[in-house]
Every structure is written in C-alpha cells, then in structure tokens.
Chain A
C-alpha cells in the first residue's frame, strides 16, 4: 500500500536554527517524492521534488531508499518559513498524489 508518514504534527524551532521535517514512505517500487508547502491564507504549492535535486528557499530533501525517507532540511530557519508542510508521493510517471498528514512548522523569533 502507498503511504506517507510525517511523524511530527507540530515543529517549533528558533530563527537561525536548523530545521528537519521528517517524512517516511511506503511504496512497492520507485516512487516520486515531493514536498508541498502551504503558507498562511495561501494555497498549497510545490516546494520541491526529489528528481530535481535542487534547493528551494534554502530547503533540500534527499531521497533515502534504504530508509524509505525523504526528510526536508534547512540549515538556518527563517521566520517566513513558518507554514504547513506536506510530504507526498506518486508512482513513477503518474500524477496521483498521496499526501502525508502534514507538519506545521513554526519559526520563533
């Protein structure tokens, strides 16, 4: 079964501290992994995908197939990073997304 698990519903860190949002997945095969973000009063939007291997707004995420994880990291958190973050997966070449429960990240000044 396809499943995405984000163990932390809430995460609070101070500005300038490192951030790591955890994501584990269950999928028989090679999925595509994504991180979506929803800022306050805004719609859900794509932050990054594992295939791109890029850094967006200072965030990176590495796909670890051995641990079936796709944790989102940022070395120095900023207040504007406060948002709801969702990890999601899809089958290779497929468009249908399976979302995790989401983690609300709060960056304290």
Chain B
C-alpha cells in the first residue's frame, strides 16, 4: 500500500517556541492531506484538510493562526505549531489521499509533541 512518513517522530520543545512537523507521501501523490490530533486514550480528531496549492480548511475550534498548515507540493504538507504551550502537547497524525474522490486515506506514523 501507499506510504506516508512523518518527521520528526517525536519532539520536545519549550513553551513559546514553534515546531514544524512534516508529512510526506513517499510513493503516491497526495492531492489532499489531513491533519489529526489524538489525545491519550482518545480518538483522532480532524484538525484540518489541505489540498495542494490551496489554503487549508480548518475544523471548528481549531485556531488557524496557531496551527499553520502548508501543502506546497503533492508529496509534502507541513504543520507548524506556533508559540507552543503545554496544552498543545499531543500526538499529531497526518494522512494523504490520492486524487479527488479517493476514499482511502493513508496514515503516517504520527508525531509526539511534548511542550515543556
């Protein structure tokens, strides 16, 4: 199946700094990429949907200025957590879908962010 990678797999940063997480589709072109957040023992919550070359569509309650998403190419999307705070500590997962109407999402392994 198609492979999505994330980098880094884990990161620790100080409060007030910004952190960038990369999501890459390795063997397919991801027209659409999704960013999820998962708290411990909870489900995945969709944060935003991004289409290559377009602005991301954020879910209700997700701060656009806090979670900057860029989808500059068909194989790369980035999530930047700006001015991170301890409450932003979470597991961030991305997924990619190939082509409009493609139902299957291919998930990355996730990135564990800890803000101290």
Interface positions of A (Cβ within 8 A of B): 9, 32, 34, 43-46, 49, 86, 90, 93, 95-102
Contact = CB atoms under 8 A, between A and B. Distances in A.
B92 to A, nearest CB: 13
B97 interface: yes
A90 B103 contact: yes
Contact of B105 (A95, A101, A102): A95
B67 interface: no
Interface residues of B, number: 24
B49 A101 contact: no
B42 A95 contact: no
Interface in B13-28: none
The 7 closest A-B CB pairs, nearest first, are A44-B107, A99-B43, A101-B43, A99-B44, A43-B109, A43-B107, A95-B97
A95 B43 contact: no
Contacts of B49: 95-96
